[in-house]
Amino acid sequence: MHRAVSRSLLNDWSPVVTSLNALKCSKCRAAVVWGGARGYSLLPPSPDRAEKAMLDRMLRVDHAGEYGANRIYAGQMAVLRRTQSGPLIQHMWDQEKSHLQKFNEILAENRVRPTLMLPLWNVAGFVLGASTALLGKEGAMACTVAVEETIAEHYNSQIRALMEADPDRYIELLQLIKEIRDEEMEHHDTGLEQDAESAPGYWLMKILIQAGCKAAICVSERV
């Protein structure tokens, strides 16, 4: 198991390397398409710098959150792949991969740089997923509940901001965020159904994980 965890931890660095290379020049950012992604534009064109900065922060942190979630599920699968919970965790991970792919495409199409914190989220997410999975299925599900609840709340705050600004102007972005938010809540509810609250120290674990997630959100918006 330790060997499998080590191998998994070393995997999936390509998005980090590609993202950091894209920071070298604006032409690179325009050309980068992670994983062969197609162009994916659903933002309204705007010459307004304040609006562009707001949307860049929003997309940057959403991409970071989905990247971190992918690494968490990678860590859980490294530990629980061969258990009865493996297929369920894989299903949720597959959905997170789809979310990440969409934000990869949006960032590339709209020339939004990813957060500089991706290398840290790569390792931290995997370690969080693997360490909680070592507590068993309940530990992994407790982590899922804590993370997905925080992500869903964050998406809700973005939805409110866009609705207050101009719901017609941002209709496509709103639709995407709502769809992803709903799937995150499905993962949250699945975690509760899978005995997350039976994990040792559930409430303390939830508080600590959510505090970490909120700090990561704050940093990723700015860095």
Residue-wise DSSP of 131-149: HHHTT-HHHHHHHHHHHHH
CATH of the domain at 35: 1.20.1260
Number of Cβ within a 10 Å radius of residue 50: 8
pLDDT tens sequence across 132-158:
999 999 999 999 999 999 999 999 999
Task: State the total domains in the chain.
Answer: 1
pLDDT 10s digits, 55-108:
999 999 999 999 999 999 999 999 999 999 999 999 999 999 999 999 999 999
**29-43: average pLDDT:** 46
CA distance linking residue 42 with residue 44, whole number of Å: 7
Per the rule left: phi > 0, alpha: psi between -120 and 50, beta: everything else, 38 is beta
Lowest-confidence region among 8-22, 64-78, 162-176: 8-22
Q: Which residue range forms the structural domain that includes residue 144? A: 2-222
The binding site comprises: 66, 96, 99, 148, 184, 187
More confident residue, 34 or 54: 54
Residue 201 carries which DSSP code? T
What is the pLDDT, as a whole number, of residue 210? Answer: 97
pLDDT value of residue 51: 85
pLDDT, the chain, mean: 85
Residues within the annotated binding site for Fe cation? 66, 96, 99, 148, 184, 187
Global pTM value: 0.82
Taking alpha carbons only, the member of 186, 51, 49, 57 closest to residue 113 is: 57
Q: Label residue 36 by pLDDT band (50, 70, 90).
A: very low
- At 211, list the tokens: 């505090």
Q: What is residue 12's predicted lDDT score, i.e. its pLDDT?
A: 57
Q: What is the pLDDT of residue 11?
A: 53
Cα separation, 104 vs 223, in Å, equals 17
